[in-house]
Amino acid sequence: MIESFKFLAHHIRTCGEDSIRVISEDVDEYVDQLHGEYNTFLEETKHIFPHSKDWEFLDRWKSLKVEELKEKWVEENRIAHPDERLKICGTLEDFEILQQRAGRISFLAKVRDDTDTLWKVVASSPELPVLHHSYIIIGVRQDHPELGKIVEVFKMVPRSVDRKEREGEREA
């Protein structure tokens, strides 16, 4: 937490107060505003990463809403062999940290999909996902020698939630 404030202070010192924008979770358009901020960031920084496929993709589809953008990403990143890759839409029920390396955390998670099937997924990311939140997961089935049948995750993105669900979470 302290490091975040140090970074914020450094950012204000180097870029000025005008470069800081606040988005409130209390507005209906929160997710779209956040998405818009992210697109603005990518637009302003794409010269730094000119060969990044994510920048190219977001620049090409920046007019889409968040859910449409996620579906488009899944559509464009399909492998020619559909039986190799799968998409899971479900809720994260539990996770266990497998390994922590410089800036990355590998974890085993249990995800219950919309058809009530429980999946074991293995992923690596800079931060842990949020328990009891809904995600879209793209991955490949694997037989792991110690963990059994798992899904190796290529991409894990949060599914959008409507305002009522967010308010219900705050009350809980």
pLDDT of residue 105: 92
Q: Is residue 170 part of a domain?
A: no
Residues 129 and 147 in one domain: yes
| Mean pLDDT score, 56-72 | 80
Average predicted confidence (pLDDT) for the chain: 79
pLDDT band at 164 (very low <50, low <70, confident <90, very high): very low
Q: How many CB atoms lie within 10 A of CB 168?
A: 11
- Looking at 49, 76, 103, which one is the last position of a domain? 76
110 lies in a domain?
yes
Rounded to whole angstroms, the Cα distance separating 65 from 108 reads: 30
Residue 87, CB-side half-sphere exposure with 13 Å CA sphere:
15
> What is the CA 131 to chain-centroid distance, rounded?
13
CATH of the domain at 137: 2.40.50.140
What is the residue whose two structure tokens read 């328990």? Answer: 131
pLDDT at position 50 over 70: no
- Both 158 and 91 in one domain: the answer is yes
Mean pLDDT is highest, among 14-18, 36-40, 157-161, 163-167, for 157-161
pLDDT band at 163 (very low <50, low <70, confident <90, very high): very low
| 123, amino acid identity | A
Please give the residue range of the domain that contains residue 102. Answer: 85-163
Is pLDDT of 170 > 70?
no
Q: Residue 101's pLDDT is what?
A: 86
Residues 6 or more apart in contact with residue 11 via CB below 8 angstroms: 19, 20
pTM for the model: 0.47
* Residue 18 per-residue DSSP state: G
Residue that finishes a domain, picked among 48, 76, 104:
76
